[in-house]
């Protein structure tokens, strides 16, 4: 019987209202950095999940160029634009409040501390969870089991008592199930196919109504 429901943040509870590749292009242009692809950024992000800021991510990316641009400046420009563009999915704020009436509710999100905490502040969600863990504060990010152990410890539940809701197959579904949590996959348009390790698959726009029904059905 579930005692806790834990969510990923980006693309699971909130989405940018502008294309992230465009935001990245604007951040590099504004700071005089060379153009960087979204694919290269994501790869560097995965290599830097336990950092305070995005500066190491951009230092990683700029190391292969002849640019003298300050990585910290690019990180700041990108962070400020991303946070401003992020909006909640329909109904998720009410869903979180309702779930907290029956379960412990947590957040586990990959990324640098300042970037992810800024998103929560911009969304007004600092108090929306019983516990919120950013992997930048940890020794390892998702899919490492230590990341999932950190949030279940914060919520004072065992992994078997927790349901994890996320959109990424490797980081969220594989990571959660291998750590002993029950996984629910959020399906994105043009995103990964449903993964059989998840006990349920919900469309992104239906998260607010579908997730509580799935969790209730696990009791």
The string of pLDDT tens digits covering residues 166-187 is 999 999 999 999 999 999 999 9
pLDDT band at residue 55 using 50, 70 and 90 as cut-offs: very high
pLDDT bracket for residue 219 (50, 70, 90) = confident
Q: What is the mean pLDDT of residues 108-118?
A: 93
Residue 46 CA to residue 110 CA, distance in Å, equals 9
Tokens (6 digits) for 177: 């199930």
Look at residue 144 in the predicted model and tell me its pLDDT.
98
Write down the residue that tokens 């490492």 correspond to: 144
The superfamily in CATH containing domain 4-15+87-217 is: HAD superfamily/HAD-like (3.40.50.1000)
Structure tokens at 219: 């009791």
What rounded mean pLDDT belongs to the chain?
Answer: 95
162 pLDDT higher than 90: yes
Burial (CB < 10 A; 0-12, 13-18, 19+), residue 219, is exposed
**pLDDT at residue 81 in the model:** 85
Confidence at residue 136, expressed as pLDDT on a 0 to 100 scale? 94
Question: Where does the pLDDT of residue 58 fall: very low under 50, low under 70, confident under 90, or very high at 90 and above?
Answer: very high
CA distance 19 to 162: 32
Identify which of 37, 40, 56, 39 has the alpha carbon closest to the alpha carbon of residue 48: 56
Q: Establish how many alpha carbons lie within 13 A of residue 22's alpha carbon, considering only the half-sphere containing its beta carbon.
A: 5
Report the pLDDT averaged over residues 95-119: 96
pLDDT of amino acid 172: 98
Give the residue-averaged pLDDT of 195-216: 98
pLDDT of 82: 85
Alpha-carbon distances, residue 24 vs 15, 30, 158, 212 (angstroms): 15, 10, 39, 34
Residue 186's nearest CA partner among 2, 9, 1, 3 is: 9
The pTM score is: 0.89
Q: Which two tokens stand for residue 26?
A: 């604007």
Residue that is written with structure tokens 């329909």 in the block: 90
| Tens-digit pLDDT profile for residues 64-97 | 899 999 999 999 999 888 877 889 999 999 999 9
pLDDT the model gives residue 84:
79
Span between the terminal Cα atoms of the chain, in Å: 5
| pLDDT for residue 169 | 98
Exposure on the CB side of residue 90, measured as CA atoms within 13 A: 6
């Amino acid at each position: 019987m579930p005692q806790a429901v834990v969510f990923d943040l980006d693309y699971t509870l909130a989405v940018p209202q502008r294309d992230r590749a465009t935001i990245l292009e604007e951040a590099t242009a504004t700071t005089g950095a060379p153009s960087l692809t979204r694919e290269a950024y994501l790869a560097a992000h995965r290599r830097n999940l336990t950092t305070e800021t995005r500066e190491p991510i951009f230092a990683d990316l700029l190391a292969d160029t002849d640019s003298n641009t300050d990585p910290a400046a690019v990180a700041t420009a990108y962070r400020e634009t991303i946070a401003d563009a992020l909006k909640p999915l329909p109904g998720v704020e009410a869903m979180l409040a309702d779930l907290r009436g029956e379960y412990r509710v947590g957040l586990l999100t990959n990324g640098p501390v300042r970037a992810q905490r800024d998103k929560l502040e911009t969304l007004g969600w600092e108090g929306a969870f019983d516990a919120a863990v950013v992997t930048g504060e940890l020794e390892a990010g998702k899919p490492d089991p230590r990341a999932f152990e950190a949030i279940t410890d914060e919520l004072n539940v065992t992994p078997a008592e927790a349901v994890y809701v996320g959109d990424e197959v490797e980081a969220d579904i594989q990571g959660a199930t291998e750590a002993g949590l029950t996984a629910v996959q959020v399906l994105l348009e043009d995103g990964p196919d449903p993964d059989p390790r998840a006990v349920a698959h919900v469309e992104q726009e239906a998260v607010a109504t579908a997730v509580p029904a799935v969790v209730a059905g696990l009791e």
